[in-house]
């Protein structure tokens, strides 16, 4: 056995420092010029160890911090060597360590402050919330691979993706960047998307660790939650994402957790992530989330976006602390080892990114396929799909002529792909004050629903777009009103066979929306249109659930979210039945705020830097549908809801227990057209009483009349409680009641399964 290094000794002493075996004499003697760590046949751990042995303390510390990679005026140009993106950690020429070129985010490669020029283009995937609504891991993986491929084509090698915080409030500004309210769904989709990004030779993050449930007062909000509640909810989503996706890095959050900033939270970073889960990658801070040098002792490995912090703690102050003995050099080595190991494991040394062209047509098809699977048909009273024989369709709504809206903030693709790079992009500044105001522009990704709808009425090969932008549109049955004045919209709808009203809600990083009401008077617009024409369909383009006071009056409601680079086309295909909708809600849709665990947003009205406690133990791990089930409240729509142009039936549920619980069930397409069902398996009761949890799901494509038997393996943690005293998961002996649901509120075929007591590691 090889001798243990100091770091290994520390690990044995119970710390969460990661170690590799010490070098053999031969390895240690090999001259640095030989770069033995470039031997691809060695494991990432071994390669990191060989490289570490050649590094000085200064060289290690240099990898532990870095700036934003954008210019702050002429005084602070973009850092030398940086491609231009969210972040940059300089490489090391002497040792051949590549720089980390870090770019946002999950939905496409961003271009912050147009740092790579206005002509730079990226494909915009739909909102992550739409991705979650697909319930389709293959779609998540292919979207991730697309983003990774585009990032590499711009010379980037770290993607700041993998947002997996649970949606706890339908006013959350960043909910569109996350994957809904359920830990299994969010964890699996995040894991698949991260895996897709990393399959291209990038490192992906998983973020924002943890319980970053509101944007309001995000730098000072203190998320208060008990250990068991946290483990069973947000942490479980992250744990599953980590197991499935193995992200090279984890980004800690801005907020505090139980009184301690997330980026210096020993309980979260050292004890949970690194010790309990055995995480071998590195923890990077969010931009401006580091408040002290002590963060390194508490588990943070790298200070990102360092201009935004009060001090570059992880540079000179760190070296001084090592020299003075207050921080062991072994901790610096451990942090460096984690970064290098993830770089080796994901190909950053062996397969550096090469700038080059992108197959935008292929990537647009990926964005479109995602949009088509994640648009949710919420209501349909026989009005959809639309026929191409309509004599007059009134399309109404702001910016429907330009494109589909996108969420704002660091994740936003502001220079989206367009066939002609010179085509101007409609971007609507929301205004405001403060740091995030300049980011608050609703960029309309240029896939206009109006053109896509009109296209259905012109002969194949002809364009529905006006040949001359100043000229009239081609003759089709489709009229357009911009929806600014309800009276004008009502007049346009009055004599039409059908009115389609598109409404949108901006949401984004930096703050929550104050309430669930649609802005810009759009409720009044819908009311006016439906009063003029009862044959009205509403297409929602929102980053959240919204109040729908008109829901009972309209004939159809389609939730299109923020639908990305081909959103307009995808919406049109769903409306006309070229695509059978198969999206299911990844969130429970409340009627209004009074049904929420926190009817008012904590800290609303307080100054931006006020410290605010957010009491998450109110719902605890009963997030979303579990809260509604526990409190016997009736939402407007349950998690998992989504209609189709066909119908499905489920039968023959059989459960099997023992050490690996699973279910099988038959699903049949009982309608006349092909379609996809999301088979959802729910727990409804356990030995302690009622309990509602999604246990497994599978999306199944079926031809009319086709039946398929699906097998649904159950992650045992979903049947368990987190036992704080025993520090692990505990399944109590007894009967577990399990059924199949078309959503979380209507679970049928419930059967009992007797399980023995069982304990599992945390």
> Which residues are near ligand BGC by CB under 6 A?
86, 104-105, 160, 207, 286-287, 410
Cβ count near 72 (within 10 Å): 12
Handedness of CA 604, 606, 608, 609 (dihedral sign): negative
Nearer to ligand BGC, 187 or 288 (CB): 288
Residue pair 537/494 in contact by the 8 Å Cβ criterion: no
Question: What are 88's two structure tokens?
Answer: 């940059």
Q: Where are the beta strands (DSSP E) in 569-615?
A: 612-615
* Euclidean distance between CA atoms 281 and 335, whole angstroms: 9
User: Of the two residues 207 and 274, which places its CB atom closer to ligand BGC in the complex?
Assistant: 207
Question: Where are the strands (E) in 542-688, listed by range?
Answer: 556-559, 612-615, 648-656, 662-669, 675-686
Backbone angles phi, psi at 30, to 5 degrees: -70, 130
Closest CB to ligand BGC among residues 86, 546: 86
Shortest spacing between CB 436 and ligand BGC, in angstroms: 9
Q: Least separation, in Å, of the C-beta of 71 and ligand BGC?
A: 15
CB of 220 to ligand BGC, least distance (A): 15
Between residues 285 and 646, which has the closer beta carbon with respect to ligand BGC? 285
Measured from the CB atom, is 51 or 257 closer to ligand BGC? 257
Q: Which is nearer to ligand BGC, 161 or 548 (CB)?
A: 161
- In whole angstroms, how close is the CB of 104 to ligand BGC at the nearest point? 5
Q: How many Cβ atoms from other residues are within 10 Å of residue 297's Cβ?
A: 17
Give me the helices (H) in 427-505, please.
Answer: 449-455, 486-494
* 761 closest CA partner among 720, 729, 731, 733: 729
Closer residue to ligand BGC, CB minimum distance, 222 or 698: 222
Residue 359: φ, ψ to 5°: -85, 80
Contacts of 183 (CB under 8 A, 6+ apart): 166, 232, 233, 234, 236, 237, 240
CA dihedral 126, 131, 132, 134 (to 10 degrees): 130
Query: Tokens in use for 48?
Result: 């990191």
**Minimal distance, residue 212 CB to ligand BGC, in Å:** 8
Distance of CA 23 to the CA centre of its chain: 40
Q: Supply the minimum distance, in Å, between the C-beta of residue 286 and ligand BGC.
A: 5
Between residues 16 and 410, which has the closer beta carbon with respect to ligand BGC? Answer: 410
- Confirm if 290 and 300 have CB atoms less than 8 A apart: yes
Q: Please compute Rg for the chain using Cα positions.
A: 26
Q: Output 410 or 441, the one with its CB closest to ligand BGC.
A: 410
SS (H, E, C) 104-125: ECCCCCCCHHHCCCCCCCECCC
Nearer to ligand BGC, 86 or 525 (CB): 86
CA distance linking residue 267 with residue 288, whole number of Å: 21
Q: Smaller CB distance to ligand BGC: residue 110 or 582?
A: 110
Q: How far is the CB of 86 from ligand BGC (least distance, A)?
A: 4
- The distance of closest approach from Cβ of residue 288 to ligand BGC in the complex, given in angstroms and rounded to an integer, is 7
* Contact status, residue 171 vs residue 512, Cβ threshold 8 Å: yes
Question: What is the rounded CA–CA span in Å between residue 574 and residue 45?
Answer: 49
Q: Which of 719, 189, 173, 237 is nearest to 436 (CA)?
A: 173
d(CA 50, CA 35): 8
- Taking the complex as a whole, the smallest distance from the CB of residue 219 to ligand BGC amounts, in Å, to 10
Length of the chain: 762
C-beta of 585: minimal distance to ligand BGC in Å?
24
Question: The tokens of 493 are what?
Answer: 């709808």
Kindly tell me which of 89 and 667 has the beta carbon lying closer to ligand BGC: 89
Dihedral (Cα; 163, 167, 173, 174), 10-degree rounding = 10
Give me the least distance between CB of 177 and ligand BGC, in Å please: 8
User: And the tokens for 578?
Assistant: 């070229």
Non-local CB neighbours of 399 within 8 Å, separated by 6+ positions: 405, 426, 428, 444, 504
Cα-based distances in Å from 469 to 423, 533, 614: 12, 30, 51
CB of 348 to ligand BGC, least distance (A): 18
Question: Least distance in Å: CB of 679 to ligand BGC?
Answer: 33
Residue 407 or 590: the one with the smaller Cβ distance to ligand BGC is 407
Choice between 158 and 490, CB closer to ligand BGC: 158
Which of 600, 384, 393 is CA-nearest to residue 480? Answer: 393
- Quick check: helix, strand or coil at residue 29? helix
Alpha helices in 544-618 (DSSP H): 567-575
Nearer to ligand BGC, 104 or 481 (CB): 104
Residue corresponding to tokens 């003995």: 325
Which of 160, 557 has the CB closer to ligand BGC? 160
Dump the DSSP string for 73-105: TTTBPSPTT--SBSEEE--BTTTTBPPEEEEE-
To ligand BGC, the closest distance from the beta carbon of 627 in angstroms equals 26
Q: How far is the CB of 409 from ligand BGC (least distance, A)?
A: 7
292 CB-near residues (< 8 Å, 6+ apart): 264, 313
| Residue with smaller CB distance to ligand BGC, 171 or 456 | 171
In whole angstroms, the minimum distance from the beta carbon of 307 to ligand BGC comes to 12
Instruction: Give the nearest distance from C-beta 372 to ligand BGC in angstroms.
Output: 27
Question: Can you read off the two tokens belonging to residue 758?
Answer: 């069982």
């Amino acid at each position: 056995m090889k001798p243990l290094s100091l770091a290994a000794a520390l690990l044995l002493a119970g710390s969460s420092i990661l170690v590799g075996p010490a070098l053999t004499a031969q390895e240690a003697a090999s001259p640095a010029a030989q770069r033995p760590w470039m031997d691809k046949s060695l494991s990432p751990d071994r390669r990191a160890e060989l490289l570490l042995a050649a590094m000085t303390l200064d060289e290690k510390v240099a990898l532990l911090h870095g700036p934003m990679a954008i210019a702050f005026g002429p005084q602070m140009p973009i850092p030398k060597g940086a491609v231009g993106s969210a972040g940059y950690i300089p490489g090391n020429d002497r040792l051949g360590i590549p720089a980390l070129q870090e770019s946002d985010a999950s939905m496409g490669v961003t271009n912050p402050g147009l740092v790579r020029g206005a002509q730079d283009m990226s494909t915009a995937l739909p909102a992550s919330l739409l991705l979650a609504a697909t319930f389709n891991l293959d779609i998540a993986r292919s979207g991730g691979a697309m983003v990774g491929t585009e990032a590499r084509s711009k010379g980037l090698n770290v993607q700041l993706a993998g947002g997996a915080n649970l949606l706890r409030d339908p006013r959350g500004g960043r909910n569109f960047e996350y994957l809904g309210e359920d830990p299994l769904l969010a964890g699996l989709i995040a894991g698949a998307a991260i895996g897709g990004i990393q399959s291209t030779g990038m490192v992906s993050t998983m973020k924002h660790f943890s319980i970053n449930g509101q944007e309001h007062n995000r730098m000072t909000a203190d998320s208060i939650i008990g250990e068991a509640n946290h483990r069973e909810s947000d942490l479980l989503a992250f744990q599953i994402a980590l197991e499935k996706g193995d992200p090279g890095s984890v980004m800690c959050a801005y907020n505090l957790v139980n009184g301690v900033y997330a980026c210096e939270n020993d309980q979260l970073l050292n004890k949970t992530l690194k010790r309990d889960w055995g995480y071998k990658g590195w923890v990077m801070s969010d931009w401006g989330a580091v408040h002290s040098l002590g963060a390194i002792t508490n588990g943070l490995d790298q200070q990102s976006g360092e201009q935004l912090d009060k001090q570059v703690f992880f540079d000179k102050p760190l070296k001084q602390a090592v020299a003075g003995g207050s921080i062991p050099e072994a901790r610096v080595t451990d942090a460096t080892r984690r970064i290098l190991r993830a770089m080796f494991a994901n190909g950053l040394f062996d397969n550096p990114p090469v700038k080059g062209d992108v197959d935008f047509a292929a990537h647009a098809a990926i964005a479109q396929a995602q949009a088509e699977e994640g648009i949710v048909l919420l209501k349909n009273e026989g009005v959809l799909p639309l026929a191409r024989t309509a004599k007059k369709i009134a399309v109404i709504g702001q910016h429907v002529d330009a494109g589909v809206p996108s969420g704002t903030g660091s994740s936003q693709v502001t220079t989206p792909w367009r066939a002609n790079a010179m085509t101007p992009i409609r971007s609507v500044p929301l205004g405001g004050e403060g740091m995030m105001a300049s980011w608050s522009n609703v960029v309309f990704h240029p896939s206009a629903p109006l053109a896509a709808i009109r296209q259905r009425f012109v002969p194949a090969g002809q364009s529905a777009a006006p040949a001359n932008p100043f000229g009239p549109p081609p003759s089709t049955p489709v009229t357009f009103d911009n929806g600014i004045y309800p009276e004008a919209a009502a007049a346009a709808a009055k004599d039409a066979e059908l009115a389609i009203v598109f409404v949108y809600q901006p949401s984004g990083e930096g703050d929550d929306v104050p309430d669930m009401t649609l802005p810009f008077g759009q409720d009044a617009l819908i009311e006016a249109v439906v009063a003029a024409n009862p044959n009205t369909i509403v297409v929602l383009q929102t980053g959240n659930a919204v109040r729908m006071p008109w829901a009972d009056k309209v004939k159809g409601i389609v939730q299109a979210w923020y639908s990305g680079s081909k959103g307009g086309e995808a919406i049109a295909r769903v409306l006309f039945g070229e695509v059978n909708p198969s999206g299911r809600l990844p969130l429970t849709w409340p009627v209004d705020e009074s049904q929420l665990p926190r009817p008012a947003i904590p800290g609303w009205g307080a100054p931006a830097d006020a410290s605010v406690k957010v009491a998450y133990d109110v719902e605890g791990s009963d997030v979303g549908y579990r809260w509604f089930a526990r409190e016997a409240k009736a939402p407007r729509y349950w998690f998992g809801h989504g209609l189709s142009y066909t119908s499905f039936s489920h039968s023959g549920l059989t459960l099997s227990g023992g050490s690996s619980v699973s279910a099988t069930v038959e699903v049949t397409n009982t309608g006349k057209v092909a379609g996809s069902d999301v088979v959802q398996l729910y727990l409804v009761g356990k030995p302690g009483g009622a309990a509602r949890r999604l246990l497994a799901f599978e999306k199944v494509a079926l031809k009319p009349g086709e039946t398929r038997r699906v097998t649904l393996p159950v992650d045992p943690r979903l049947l368990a409680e987190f036992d704080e005293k025993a520090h692990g998961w505990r399944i109590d002996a007894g009967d577990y009641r399990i059924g199949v649901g078309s959503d979380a509120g209507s679970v049928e075929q419930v059967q009992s399964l007797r399980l023995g007591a069982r304990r599992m590691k945390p």
